[in-house]
Structure 1
Amino acid sequence: MTNGRPRALVTGASAGIGKSYAEHLARTGHDLVLVARRADRLEDLARELADATGVEAEILPADLGSDAGVAAVVARIEQGGVDMVVNNAGYASRGRVAELDPDALETMLRVNVLALSRLSAAAMKSMIAAGRGTIINVSSGTVFMQIPGNAGYGASKNYVMAFTRHMQAEAEGTGVRVQLLVPGVIATDFHEVAGNAIENFPPERVMRADDLVVASLRALEMEEPVCIPSLPDIRDWDNYAAAEALVAKNCSRDRTAPRYHGA
């Protein structure tokens, strides 16, 4: 903490969901470490937040698609004084599996999967040692869908979901909170970067980034480990997890299921 304030490190902080996290956390008294590729945007945001709220906002320009960029952020986490990590950075490179650009796929996976894993590992180690801390990993509602052209991105966010749920199991009793955030369609420039347009979605399916972030932070207060902001009843997630557990119970037996014993 600095001056008695907690400090949050937010990746992808220069725009969209990450910027909204930075703004809300600053207003609630968090000092910040702002991570994104573009230093000029980070400088502008840090100045705005410091002027508006009086918090300390340090910037860390880093490309999480590169080893050097990931190493720089890991080093900052290991330096200490980070009470919250928001793993928000990520993007979609889409295409049907038979037509995927292998280089574009690999670059996306470096950000969505490898960078998130390394930052999560560094944060878990530091926070478990401190006996406190919060990690928010941003997945996607597409984990529940199979959409042609979305295999690479959807699978990367399925990884985020699985990795985060394992983190939650390992965090029990340590004082560390781990949230899995599952956004739907959010009104940011994410879709334009992915080659789509927000106008292509029905308005009733599109949420504002600010509303998403408020739900995420409220879910922390409510101790909900999984935040699906537009899900009316969290018991739907509980039922999903229960169905998963039922399959898990029977996926490793000493004999095959009766239906495979042909007449």
Structure 2
Amino acid sequence: MSTTTTGTALITGATAGLGAAYAEELAARGHDIILVARDEARLEKAAAGLAERSGRKVSTLSADLATAEGIASVEERLAGDASIGTLVNNAGMALLGPLSKADPDRLEGLITLNLTSFTRIAAAAAKAFTGRGAGTIVNISSALALNILPVGAAYSGTKAYVLAFTQGLAQEFADSAVRVQVVLPGALETALWNGSGIELDQLPKEMVMSPQDAARAGLAGLEAGELVTIPSLPEYGQWEAYDQARQAMRPNLSLSRPAARYSR
């Protein structure tokens, strides 16, 4: 699939890191861009720079996606702007550390941004793109959806949700012109780590990818028709084997009687 003829791309969490990298790559492929983030001054600066570099139309939407008002403003833009053909659902936060020591308010913030905001924005795009007959939804998950760590119960849980959500959404749109993809990057060189509980400089350099490389890989996976893109995975067959093993269990996941090993 080409990503150069699908109109405007709306990108959340777009002024830095992976969101900014997606904005650069999509603008280079011919998209106009809507940048969504909280800080209006940073938004305007990012938009001016991207417009100058790319020659594309770049607009902004200042929205705090941890609030109902911020979420609603993005929903309204997706519903009302018929030029939007691509959503990069990227905004999120990380919170790493033992759950027994977590700040409940920060946990709630993680859930609001990574689950509630993510879901409502994806649902708004799904509705809008269904009405327009086409569109692309790119959901950003994490390799920690698969690589569960003892310090990542809540964060991994939210990112596993993004993976399962996208797989279900793909089934919903299987016979339509609406495309969905989920991207599972590993550690990226971004500010996401700041205040997360683990600092970027604690990670081995060979584990950390640039956001630019991750965005290019994500878009290459989209163009190749992948539903699930894992930027650093050398052999895609490993993911396919994992998914096939999961699907092989499906006939036995809901039966009228317990498995024999549970009988006494």
Scaled to the shorter chain, the TM-score interval is over 0.9
- The yes-or-no answer on 1:255 pairing with 2:257 is yes
Query: RMSD of aligned C-alpha atoms?
Result: 1.3
- The yes-or-no answer on 1:77 pairing with 2:78 is yes
- The yes-or-no answer on 1:220 pairing with 2:222 is yes
Gaps of 5+ in 2: none
2:148 and 2:224 map into 1 onto residues whose CA distance is: 31
Partner of 2:174 in structure 1? Answer: 172
Partner of 2:36 in structure 1? Answer: 35
Q: Which is further off, 196-205 or 225-234? A: 196-205
Gaps of 5+ in 1: none
1:1-263 correspondence runs (5 A): 6-80=7-81, 81-262=83-264
User: Is 2:6–2:86's contact at 8 Å kept on the other side of the alignment?
Assistant: no
User: Is 1:21–1:213's contact at 8 Å kept on the other side of the alignment?
Assistant: yes
Cα-to-partner distance string for 1:98-122 (whole Å, 9 max, x where unaligned):
2222211111111100111011111
User: Is 1:93–1:152's contact at 8 Å kept on the other side of the alignment?
Assistant: yes
User: Is 1:168–1:178's contact at 8 Å kept on the other side of the alignment?
Assistant: yes
Equivalent pairs: percent with the same residue? Answer: 40
State the AA in 2 paired with 1:192.
Answer: N
1:173 and 1:251 map into 2 onto residues whose CA distance is: 26
User: Is 2:95–2:110's contact at 8 Å kept on the other side of the alignment?
Assistant: yes
1:193 and 1:91 map into 2 onto residues whose CA distance is: 10
User: Is 1:179–1:225's contact at 8 Å kept on the other side of the alignment?
Assistant: yes
3-state SS of the aligned residue for 1:184? coil
State the AA in 1 paired with 2:200.
Answer: I
2:6 and 2:216 map into 1 onto residues whose CA distance is: 20
1:256 and 1:159 map into 2 onto residues whose CA distance is: 27
Cα-to-partner distance string for 1:26-56 (whole Å, 9 max, x where unaligned):
1111111100011111101110111122211
2:189 and 2:202 map into 1 onto residues whose CA distance is: 11
1:22 and 1:194 map into 2 onto residues whose CA distance is: 24
Alignment: residue pair count: 259
3-state SS of the aligned residue for 2:11? strand
Following TM superposition, by how much is the alpha carbon of 1:248 offset from its aligned partner in structure 2, in angstroms?
Answer: 2.2
Following TM superposition, by how much is the alpha carbon of 1:5 offset from its aligned partner in structure 2, in angstroms?
Answer: 7.2
Task: Name the TM-score, length of structure 2 as normaliser.
Answer: 0.94
Task: Name the TM-score, length of structure 1 as normaliser.
Answer: 0.95
State the AA in 1 paired with 2:125.
Answer: A
